[in-house]
Structure 1
Amino acid sequence: MNNYPRAFSHVGITVPNIKEAVKFYKEVMGWYVMMEPTEVLEENNTAIGQMCIDVFGEGWGSFKIAHLSTSDTIGIELFEFPQNVKPKHEFNPYQTGIFHFCVKDPDIEGLTKKIIEAGGKQRMPIREYFPGEKPYKMVYCEDPFGNIVEIYTHSYELVYSETYK
């Protein structure tokens, strides 16, 4: 078996209102909309219907889906289920599962401001990783739907690689 790093393809995010989420991610994050919100019905006559039954089981009825893309071709799948349960949002990084996603923007202050203006939150002050040594900054925010969004000013490799000290 070959052991090599796999490329990231996409991430799926469940939201309470897909139209508002598409608008937010398009206008605030600048992501490209590849497929506007579309309804998927529970049926086994098409490949997509059967695949969704395989994933979600039976009894889900229908849901809406939209596809977006980042500038570096990472896909973003947005899902809105009619039986969506919006939990009381309690920040809990200790719970198993996806804790946050991170985007890169050299204008960290500008993106943070846009997130707040669009109904999101800034969860901490913008911090430098290596004050006085490197210009790398980060911040945790929250989108209007309760998803945690981290922002880096530089690439993951630069922030964490010993080579680039």
Structure 2
Amino acid sequence: MSTTFARPINHVAVSVEDIEAVTTWYTTIMGFEIIGGKIAHIKRSESPESPIFAIYGDSLREVKLAYMATGNGVGFEVFQFLDPEFVKSETVFEYNRGGFFHICVTDPKPDELVQKILEAGGSRQGKTVKLTGGVTCVYIRDPWGNIVEILDASFERLTTMDTANW
């Protein structure tokens, strides 16, 4: 009998050049819904303490973000990086390149999971942050450079909290 905790997929995120076009397409074609019916526009100049700036570092100054709900409860996040602007990447992995840039798992003890990841050849990406409602968020890189976010709350819980502090 396995003692490994089977971590559910929390959400998938994609970096895009035109968030309005992408969210419209996924709503119309795939039936996804924009949670709260809005796309957040986050500027460091207006919200310097926003957790997103602690995760992605000093170079990120402006981003648009939409949380979308899929049919099975796995979230779909859509990011449009404005400053620095979206870059279509051919070979270099960057968080503002087109396509998928991280997956997210839910774990009740993020720090313990991070330790296992570090012991298995992974590394941290940014700092562990507390989001609205005390939700713990940490990003890591697997040994091949893929980004994995770890939350100690479900996607539904995270997105139904006060989103003024994105």
TM-score when normalising by structure 2: 0.47
Which structure has the higher relative contact order (CA within 8 Å, separation 6+)? 2
Larger Rg: 1
Q: Comparing both structures, which one devotes a greater share of its residues to strand?
A: 2
